[in-house]
């Protein structure tokens, strides 16, 4: 196959895509604004090992990952701590992001050209077709396809013409602002035996989470404080102090990290493609909304996109062909993520005492939390409904609201899965409006 593909960004999804497309005979160029050694966060994140087998990439060396511990969720009033014992076959690996990047880069560099420290400032368009990119120094480079993997606040996406009906800017509630640091374990303080991975929901009554995780292999403490949209320094200081009081293992010295980051925590974007253009990874909001984890979904999506391009139905870089990628992603995981966002939004907006009751009374069960953490949805069976009704009888109006929410979530997932099979502008716009309606936005 002939054609030039420009990939903007050099993260895990980008590198995977570059390898696949380069192997397929395309001329692939990757542009990244950072130095190669600085791409990706300098810490580990979670991903299930089955992802490598799913996309056909060998597992990297075991030195760059370790099995993740079970989460323990602390209710907003700290009245209960619920530990979820994840099924063995579903346990994630904590993978070092930069080391994974190195592994994927060493595979992809055989098939693609890489330009680090070369920021892109936007895309070039002719009418409704993307024809290339403009570099920060003003240089224009043409391409048959631009794949935007430059992050949630993408300069490429923001430069698109409005006529494409692709959301250009983020909305309120789309982003999670977080401080993350890896610190030493306080000398003389023993490591926790049971609750090694503690997550605080609506920590201190705020719309967000905090966590304290003991990383056994390195004997460091992984600390995060995050809030939706904004994290003020005074709020960070208060939350961090509260974490230290509850977790005396948190030491004084930052080993690595210690920075603010921005993570998308919303449903996938309603339109991922146009003529000569495709969104991938965080640029398309592919993270699990409950926790902001997106490595796995981005890598799987890169495999889907490569198959759509290399096995085209018609012109490979047309919106009609690229649209098949969005349909597959939405039906495989994106539809489910849109439902998870609805649950996340409800939990963060509900009064803290109401959310605390759901946890303390056992209405929000270990199983409910287990499935939500991996991007799956809570399902109510007749038996589980009876069990929740018994546990939540003191707050029946709240339980009714939760039940109605779960029904709306199920409806949202069905809407998302019902994306039109083939690209038809009128039918797609109609679906796009239905998909976004539950979140108060048109696109």
What is the predicted pLDDT for the residue at 379? 59
Among the candidates 331, 349, 370, a domain finishes at 331
In angstroms, the CA 48 to CA 433 distance is 33
Could you tell me whether strands 71-74 and 197-201 are parallel, antiparallel, or unpaired per DSSP bridges? parallel
Residues 35 and 99 in one domain: yes
* Residue 285: φ, ψ to 5°: 55, 60
Q: Is residue 9 part of a domain?
A: yes
Span 252-278, mean pLDDT? 97
Which is more confident, 362 or 57?
A: 57
Is pLDDT at 158 greater than 60 in this prediction? yes
Q: Helix crossing, 319-329 with 295-310: angle to 10°? A: 140
Give alpha helix (H) positions in 46-154: 50-55, 97-108
Q: Is residue 379 part of a domain?
A: no
Residues 188 and 315 in one domain: no
What is the predicted pLDDT for the residue at 382? 46
Is pLDDT at 388 greater than 60 in this prediction? no
Residues 103 and 224 in one domain: no
Lowest mean pLDDT among 147-156, 262-271, 302-311, 373-382: 373-382
Span 213-219, mean pLDDT? 94
The distance in angstroms from the start CA to the end CA of the chain is 34
Span 78-105, mean pLDDT? 90
In angstroms, the CA 145 to CA 397 distance is 52
Q: Is residue 392 part of a domain?
A: no
Span 237-255, mean pLDDT? 97
pLDDT tens per residue, range 20-69: 999 999 999 999 999 999 999 999 999 999 999 999 999 999 999 999 88
Span 410-439, mean pLDDT? 97
Q: Are 103 and 60 in contact (CB under 8 A)?
A: yes
Residues 42 and 111 in one domain: yes
Among the candidates 219, 244, 264, a domain finishes at 264
Task: Compute CA 337 distance to the chain's CA centroid, rounded to the nearest angstrom.
Answer: 9
What is the predicted pLDDT for the residue at 400? 83
Which is more confident, 84 or 315?
A: 315
Q: Is residue 80 part of a domain?
A: no
Residues 230 and 312 in one domain: no
Q: How confident is the model at residue 4 (pLDDT cuts 50, 70, 90)?
A: very high
Q: Are 23 and 47 in contact (CB under 8 A)?
A: no
Lowest mean pLDDT among 115-129, 311-325, 334-348: 334-348
Q: How confident is the model at residue 82 (pLDDT cuts 50, 70, 90)?
A: confident
Residues 109 and 227 in one domain: no
Question: DSSP states of 89-110 as a string?
Answer: GGPPEEEEHHHHHHHHHHHHTT
Could you tell me whether strands 4-8 and 27-31 are parallel, antiparallel, or unpaired per DSSP bridges? parallel
Cα separation values, 399 from 30, 361, 393, Å: 50, 11, 8
Which is more confident, 364 or 424?
A: 424
* Residue 103: φ, ψ to 5°: -60, -45
Residues 255 and 297 in one domain: no
Residues 189 and 223 in one domain: yes
Token pair 């976004």 is found at 436
What residues make up the domain containing 139? 4-66+94-169+269-331
Could you tell me whether strands 27-31 and 113-115 are parallel, antiparallel, or unpaired per DSSP bridges? parallel
As for how many domains the chain has, the answer is 2
CATH of the domain at 183: 3.30.70
In angstroms, the CA 302 to CA 378 distance is 28
Among the candidates 264, 282, 303, a domain finishes at 264
Is pLDDT at 357 greater than 90 in this prediction? no
* Residue 301: φ, ψ to 5°: -65, -35
Q: Are 16 and 57 in contact (CB under 8 A)?
A: yes
Q: Helix crossing, 425-437 with 396-417: angle to 10°? A: 160
Q: Pick left, alpha or beta for residue 375 (phi over 0 → left; psi -120 to 50 → alpha; otherwise beta).
A: left
Is pLDDT at 365 greater than 90 in this prediction? no
pLDDT tens per residue, range 106-153: 999 999 999 999 999 999 999 999 999 999 999 999 999 999 999 999
Predicted TM-score (pTM) of the model is: 0.94
Q: Is residue 109 part of a domain?
A: yes
CATH of the domain at 308: 3.50.50.60
Summary mean pLDDT of the chain: 92
Q: Is residue 161 part of a domain?
A: yes
Non-local CB neighbours of 171 within 8 Å, separated by 6+ positions: 266, 439, 441
Residues 98 and 239 in one domain: no
Residues 35 and 102 in one domain: yes
Q: Is residue 247 part of a domain?
A: yes
Total number of residues shown for the chain: 443
In angstroms, the CA 108 to CA 193 distance is 41
């Amino acid at each position: 196959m002939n054609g030039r593909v420009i990939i903007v960004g050099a993260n895990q999804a980008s590198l995977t895509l570059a390898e696949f497309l380069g192997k397929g005979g395309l001329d692939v160029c990757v542009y990244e604004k950072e130095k190669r050694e600085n791409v990706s966060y300098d810490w580990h994140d979670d991903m299930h090992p089955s992802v490598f087998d799913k996309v056909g990439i060998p597992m990297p060396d075991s030195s760059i990952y370790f099995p993740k511990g079970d989460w323990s969720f602390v209710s907003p009033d700290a009245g209960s701590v619920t530990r979820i014992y994840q099924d063995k076959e579903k346990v994630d690996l904590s993978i070092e992001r930069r080391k994974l990047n190195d592994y994927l880069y060493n595979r992809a560099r055989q098939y693609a050209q890489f330009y680090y420290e070369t920021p892109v400032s936007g895309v070039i368009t002719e009418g409704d077709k993307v024809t290339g990119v403009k570099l920060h120094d003003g240089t224009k480079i043409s391409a048959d396809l631009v794949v935007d993997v430059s992050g949630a606040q993408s300069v490429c996406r923001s430069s698109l013409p409005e006529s494409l009906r692709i959301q250009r800017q983020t909305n309120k509630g789309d982003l999670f602002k977080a401080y993350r640091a890896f610190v030493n374990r306080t000398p003389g303080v023993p490591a926790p035996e049971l609750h090694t991975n503690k997550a605080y929901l609506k920590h201190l009554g705020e719309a967000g989470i905090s966590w304290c995780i003991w990383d056994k292999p390195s004997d460091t403490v992984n600390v995060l404080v995050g809030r939706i949209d904004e994290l003020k320094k005074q709020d960070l200081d208060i939350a961090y102090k509260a974490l230290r009081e509850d977790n005396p293992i948190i030491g004084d010295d930052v080993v690595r990290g210690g920075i603010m980051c921005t993570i998308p925590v919303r449903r996938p974007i309603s339109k991922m493609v146009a003529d000569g253009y495709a969104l991938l990874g965080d640029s398309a909001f592919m993270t699990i909304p409950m926790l902001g984890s997106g490595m796995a979904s981005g890598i799987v999506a890169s495999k889907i996109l490569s198959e759509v391009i290399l096995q085209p139905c018609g012109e490979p870089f047309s919106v009609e062909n690229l649209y098949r990628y969005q349909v597959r992603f939405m039906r495989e995981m994106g539809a489910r993520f849109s439902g998870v966002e609805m649950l996340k939004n409800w939990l963060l907006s509900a009064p803290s005492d109401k959310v605390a009751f759901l946890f303390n009374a056992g209405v929000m069960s270990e199983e409910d939390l287990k499935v939500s953490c991996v991007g799956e949805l809570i399902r109510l069976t007749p038996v589980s409904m009876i069990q929740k009704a018994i546990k939540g009888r003191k707050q029946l109006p709240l339980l009714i609201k939760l039940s109605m929410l779960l029904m709306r979530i199920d409806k949202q997932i069905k809407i998302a899965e019902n994306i039109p099979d083939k690209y038809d502008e009128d039918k797609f716009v109609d679906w796009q409006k239905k998909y976004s309606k539950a979140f108060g936005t048109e696109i």
